[in-house]
Structures are given as structure tokens and as C-alpha cells.
């Protein structure tokens, strides 16, 4: 059964010092807590449209469809609690701690689970007695909608939460915003994700390493500039901050960017450690942080490897952050880029119902901007994915339309690597134009050698040609560049096909299972596992994989199965059909 998910505001609350109160007067504490629930808490929850998920002694877990109403409810409760406790001795006073987060939740019956819930619980733990602690996602949504001030609590490492969280705190007395202080003039943000790479700090104590540190930053700036989807500040502007103590938010405003990458380099003997962190200027929150170690034998090789790792990792992080930002905008204010990002969000949900929505958003993006090459490419690629899964309602019409979108993408986007790659993938699979598709992908790699998807599609192209060793090398490069990519299933499935046709059936099945963990509903992953298990004699596993394949594409039969004309080698086609036949696919 498909798990149910939804975006919600989660409120976690408990009584500060509850054990002390119970130890002092158990009956009185329980009676007082019941009265607070009946007179203060429950009416506020109902008033603001919330739902009590569960109670745990002195604790409450609440869900609200509106994050603004969740915060309003919490402030109303805490204000009432402060008034209620004003005449009560401090050692007998009830004080609530409340944490609020906005996140994706898993719904099981009346209960909710997930990282969004865990973060709310951890925020509650660090909230002051009588106060509220909220995440930066909540603050972003309410700061312009409520006449309420929040104190910046900085970035906090929360227990059992992998990433640091930017937090904001409220306490009684902050119900009105302070008088605004004139802010320094900030440059307007571009209409696409913008980033500045500040000079990295040389903390090795060796002035001779300055050339390496500066060269590394210049390489990162150059490589990021190859992403047509990014607005990257030039080196001459960012290097004015070299050697200075920098306030990240102030630098971001002065440079007119949403994101800043900063870092440091430390040398010990002949080893180097390079640290980097990506910061959202609007919140001060960290989107990514990591370190890279290397030996100082070939400086330029180390520079290249670090640059590729940094760029390959943060480009998808920027895409995710921008997608989340676009999803928070009201539909009537969406521009072409926002529509593109929403299309990507629905594509990544990867369901039969979300793919048409993704296609609609890509179509809307090209209506708003007829020269938006990447939107044509992604729109065509959605059709290719749907065709592989049997999700097209009218293939006779939709496939030619997708091919036309792909042709438009590569024609308009000759300098846009993403448009070239997605358009090429469609031309290869739906039109069988493999040679021209490979040429377009090769051009994309010249334009941006750090685009992981380009290496993946290039690897698939070599699989189609029967050049399996080369295909594996290219797909490994994609995985190395972006190991946590939202399109990792594409990388892994390509590896599965390459190993399958190279006769390494166990490896093929392993890669297919890894891909299925990312996207369980993509038919090609099930095809690889089915065929690999059947050809290696693992009949029971092949039958299980076939059952999963038929659950995705119930009409699939040997008689209506065909491989795209992109597959060049007849022996690969024969192996494909033989594997399905051995697995038990009906005629």
C-alpha cells in the first residue's frame, strides 16, 4: 500500500518541570493540567483549526494545515498561560515549552511520523519555559504574516537530527514587532538561484598555500558558472572580501545573492583538508557542509577533484532549496522559473498522477517564456518516462508531441546543458536517433563537465551502443559527482543495464534493487532485476521481480514488448526477450 504523506505544521508541547510538580502534589498537578487543557489549550487548538494527534502524559503532539494558524495558536496559549500564572508562586506555576516545525509527514491512521515530527520535538526541548521555538521554515512563512517578533536563536545541532537547524524563539513580551531599523541597500535578487563563492580561509599558517586556496575558489566559481540555471557572482567581486571578517547575511545582500559558499583550507605536512559550507543568506541556515582530504602531491589534480565534488554536491542542493521556495509561493505569482521548479517537484514525486501535473507546469513555463529550452526538454522527458511505465493515455499523439518538444529543446538550448541532455534522452528513446542524441550530450559535457545527469545519459547512450565498459565508467562518474542526486535511480538503472548486457547478472540485479529503493515504481528497474535473476537461474527472485514489473505495467506481455530502436545490438535485444521469457512473462 502506498504510504500517505502530506505537508503540515507540527506542534510539540510539554510542561516544563512536570516531574517536580508531580513530586510536590500529584493530585493537584493532574487537576491543574486538566483545567489548563479544558480552559486554554483545547479551545485554542479548535479555534485555529488544529488537531490533537496524541497526548503523552504532560505532552501534546498537534497537527495544523496552516503554519500561520499553528503559530497563532501557540502564541495565544502561551500568552494566556503567562496571564494565568502571574499570581501563582513560581514553584507551583505551570509553564509550557512549545516547538513548531513545517515539514513532510507520514500518516498512519490518526498518527503521524517522520523527520518533520522529530524536528518539532527537538525544538520543543530547547524552547524556554513559557516560550516557543520555531524552525527557519516556519519563520520564513510567518514573519510577514504575523505582527510578532522572534529572536534569532542561531544554528543549533539538535539531538538525533543529522543537519543543523536555524531556530527562532518567542516569549511573552515579543508580541509586537520592534520599530524597523533602516537596512543597508540590498541588491535585488535575480530570477534564478544566485550564489557567491567567498574566498576560502587559509588556516594552515603557510602563506605559500594562498595560491592553492585562491585557485581552488576560482575553479569552483568557473565550474558553477557553467550551470546555465545559476547566477554566479564573478571572482573580482567576491575577492574584495578576502582577509576580512565577513557577516554572511550582509555580504549576501551586498552581492545580491540568495546563497553563499564559504570554506577553509588546512595543511599538515603534505596533507590538506578542505572544509566548505553552503549558507542560505535569508535565514543564515546551513544547507550543506562537508570536508575533503587529499595529499599535496599533484596540486592541480587535487584542485580538480575537490572542485568536482563541491560543485556536483551543491548544485542539486540549490535545486532542492529553490524548489521548496517555489512551492511556498502562491500560484498566481509564479513566473516561468517557478513553474519549472514546480514541474521538477512533481516529476520527483514520480507517480502516475504527478507526471501529468509536471508536464503541465513545464508547458506553462514555456508559455510564459517560449525560449525556456530546459522546460521543453524536461517536458519531453516526462513523456519518455511515462512511456516506459505504460502511463501514456494516448501514445500515438503524445510520443510525436514529445519528440517535437525534444527537437525544440536542443534547437533553442544549444548552450544549455540541461536542455541538451533531456532533449537528447527523449530523441534516443522515443525517436531512436541515438547518434544525434550522443552528439548533443557530448556538447552538454563540453559546456558543463560537472553535470551528473549528462554523464548518466551519456552512459545510457553507450549501453544502447553495446559499449558496456565505457558506459559503466560514465555512470560511475555521474554517481561520484552527485551521490545523493534526486535522479540517482537513473544512474543506478543504467549501471544495471550495462552490467546485464556485459554478462554480470548478479551486479545487474544489485544495481536494479538499489535503483528500486530510490524509485520503486519505475518499470526499467524491475525489468533489469527480472531479466538478470532469470538469466542467472534465480527463478524465484525473477518471479518476484516480474510480479513487481507487472504491478507497474499490468498489460505487459511478450507479444507487445519491444525495445526502443536505440538498442543497437541484436544480441542485446535477444538477451532481453530471453530473460523475460525465462522469468515467465505471458505471451
Whole-number pLDDT of residue 178: 42
More confident residue, 408 or 214: 408
Whole-number pLDDT of residue 326: 67
Residue indicated by cell numbers 512473462: 585
Kindly give the interhelix angle for 299-327 and 468-481, rounded to the nearest 10 degrees.
Answer: 70
**What confidence tens digit (pLDDT) does each residue in 322-331 have?**
767 666 666 5
Asked whether this chain's domains 329-379+397-449 and 462-587 adopt the same fold, the reply is: yes
Question: Which class would CATH give 462-587?
Answer: mainly alpha
Residue 142: name the closest of 188, 75, 95, 82 by CA: 75
**What confidence tens digit (pLDDT) does each residue in 226-273 have?**
777 778 887 777 887 887 777 888 888 888 888 888 888 887 777 778
CATH architecture of 329-379+397-449: Alpha Horseshoe (1.25)
Residue 380: name the closest of 354, 407, 357, 346 by CA: 407
**What confidence tens digit (pLDDT) does each residue in 381-392 have?**
999 999 999 899
**Among 121-130, 466-475, 491-500, 507-516, which is the least confidently predicted range?**
121-130
* pLDDT band of 448, cuts 50, 70, 90: confident
Whole-number pLDDT of residue 150: 86
Statement: the pTM of the whole predicted model exceeds 0.85: no
Q: Three-state SS for 110?
A: coil
Mean pLDDT for the stretch of residues 539-564: 89
Whole-number pLDDT of residue 429: 93
Mean pLDDT for the stretch of residues 19-34: 82
* Per-residue cell: 577: 526477450
Specify the CATH number for 4-170; select among 2.40.70.10, 3.40.50.261, 3.30.70.1230, 1.10.3720.10: 3.30.70.1230
Whole-number pLDDT of residue 177: 42
Residue indicated by cell numbers 522515443: 430
Phi, psi of 266 (to 5 degrees): -125, 135
* pLDDT band of 183, cuts 50, 70, 90: very low
Distance, in Å, from the CA atom of 146 to the CA atom of 26, rounded to the nearest integer, reads 38
Superfamily grouping for domain 194-317? ABC-type transport auxiliary lipoprotein component (3.40.50.10610)
Rounded percentage of the chain residues whose pLDDT exceeds 90? 40
List residues bridging with 105 in a β-sheet: 6
Whole-number pLDDT of residue 299: 63
CB 385 within 8 A of CB 343: no
Dihedral (Cα; 552, 556, 560, 564), 10-degree rounding: 30
Q: Three-state SS for 446?
A: helix
Concatenating the DSSP letter of every residue in 551-577 gives: HHSTT--GGG----TT---HHHHHHHH
Q: Indicate the domain borders of the chain.
A: 4-170, 194-317, 329-379+397-449, 462-587
Q: Hey, what long-range contacts does 299-302 have (CB within 8 A, 24 or more apart)?
A: 299/212, 302/272
Amino acid at each position: 500500500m502506498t504510504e500517505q504523506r502530506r505537508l503540515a505544521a507540527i506542534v510539540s508541547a510539554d510542561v516544563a518541570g512536570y516531574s517536580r510538580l508531580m513530586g510536590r502534589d500529584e493530585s493537584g498537578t493532574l487537576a491543574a493540567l486538566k483545567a489548563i487543557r479544558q480552559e486554554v489549550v483545547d479551545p485554542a487548538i479548535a479555534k485555529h483549526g488544529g488537531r490533537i494527534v496524541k497526548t503523552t502524559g504532560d505532552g501534546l503532539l498537534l497537527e495544523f494545515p496552516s503554519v500561520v494558524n499553528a503559530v497563532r495558536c501557540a502564541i495565544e496559549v502561551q500568552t494566556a498561560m503567562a496571564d494565568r500564572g502571574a499570581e501563582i508562586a513560581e514553584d507551583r506555576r505551570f509553564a509550557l515549552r512549545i516547538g513548531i516545525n513545517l515539514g513532510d509527514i507520514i500518516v498512519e491512521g490518526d498518527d503521524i511520523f517522520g523527520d518533520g515530527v522529530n524536528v518539532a520535538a527537538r525544538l520543543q526541548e530547547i524552547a524556554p519555559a513559557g516560550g516557543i521555538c520555531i524552525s527557519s521554515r516556519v519563520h520564513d512563512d510567518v514573519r510577514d504574516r504575523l505582527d510578532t517578533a522572534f529572536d534569532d536563536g542561531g544554528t543549533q545541532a539538535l539531538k538525533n537530527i543529522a543537519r543543523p537547524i536555524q531556530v527562532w524563539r518567542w516569549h511573552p513580551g515579543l508580541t509586537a514587532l520592534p520599530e524597523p531599523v533602516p537596512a543597508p541597500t540590498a541588491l535585488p535578487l535575480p530570477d534564478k538561484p544566485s550564489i557567491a563563492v567567498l574566498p576560502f580561509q587559509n588556516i594552515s599558517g603557510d602563506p605559500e598555500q594562498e595560491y592553492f586556496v585562491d585557485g581552488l575558489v576560482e575553479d569552483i566559481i568557473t565550474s558553477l558558472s557553467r550551470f546555465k540555471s545559476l547566477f554566479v557572482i564573478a571572482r573580482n567581486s567576491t575577492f574584495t572580501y578576502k582577509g576580512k571578517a565577513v557577516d554572511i547575511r550582509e555580504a549576501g545582500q551586498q552581492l545580491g545573492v540568495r546563497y553563499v559558499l564559504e570554506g577553509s583550507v588546512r595543511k599538515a605536512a603534505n596533507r590538506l583538508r578542505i572544509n566548505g559550507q553552503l549558507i542560505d543568506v535569508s535565514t543564515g541556515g546551513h544547507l550543506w557542509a562537508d570536508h575533503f582530504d587529499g595529499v599535496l602531491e599533484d596540486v592541480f589534480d587535487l584542485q580538480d577533484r575537490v572542485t568536482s565534488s563541491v560543485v556536483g554536491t551543491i548544485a542539486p542542493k540549490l535545486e532542492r532549496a529553490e524548489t521548496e521556495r517555489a512551492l511556498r509561493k502562491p500560484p498566481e505569482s509564479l513566473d516561468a522559473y517557478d513553474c519549472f521548479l514546480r514541474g521538477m517537484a512533481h516529476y520527483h514525486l514520480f507517480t502516475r498522477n504527478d507526471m501529468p501535473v509536471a508536464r503541465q507546469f513545464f508547458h506553462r513555463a514555456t508559455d510564459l517564456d517560449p525560449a525556456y529550452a530546459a522546460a521543453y526538454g524536461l517536458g519531453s522527458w516526462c513523456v519518455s518516462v511515462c512511456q516506459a511505465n505504460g502511463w501514456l493515455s494516448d501514445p500515438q499523439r503524445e510520443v510525436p508531441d514529445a519528440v517535437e518538444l525534444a527537437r525544440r529543446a536542443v534547437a533553442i538550448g544549444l548552450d544549455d546543458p540541461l536542455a541538451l541532455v533531456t532533449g537528447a534522452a527523449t530523441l534516443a528513446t522515443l525517436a531512436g536517433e541515438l547518434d544525434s542524441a550522443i552528439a548533443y550530450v557530448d556538447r552538454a559535457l563540453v559546456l558543463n563537465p560537472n553535470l551528473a545527469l549528462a554523464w548518466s545519459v551519456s552512459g545510457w547512450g553507450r549501453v544502447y551502443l553495446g559499449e558496456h565498459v565505457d558506459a559503466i565508467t560514465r555512470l560511475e562518474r555521474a554517481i561520484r559527482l552527485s551521490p545523493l542526486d534526486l535522479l540517482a535511480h537513473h544512474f543506478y538503472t543504467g549501471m544495471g543495464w550495462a552490467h546485464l548486457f556485459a554478462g554480470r547478472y548478479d551486479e545487474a540485479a544489485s544495481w536494479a534493487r538499489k535503483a528500486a529503493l530510490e524509485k520503486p515504481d519505475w518499470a526499467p528497474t524491475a525489468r533489469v532485476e527480472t531479466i538478470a535473476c532469470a538469466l542467472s537461474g534465480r527463478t524465484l527472485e525473477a518471479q518476484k521481480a516480474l510480479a513487481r514489473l507487472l504491478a507497474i505495467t499490468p498489460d505487459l506481455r511478450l507479444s507487445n514488448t519491444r525495445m526502443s530502436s536505440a538498442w543497437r545490438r541484436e544480441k542485446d535485444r535477444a538477451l532481453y526477450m530471453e530473460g523475460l521469457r525465462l522469468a515467465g512473462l505471458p505471451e
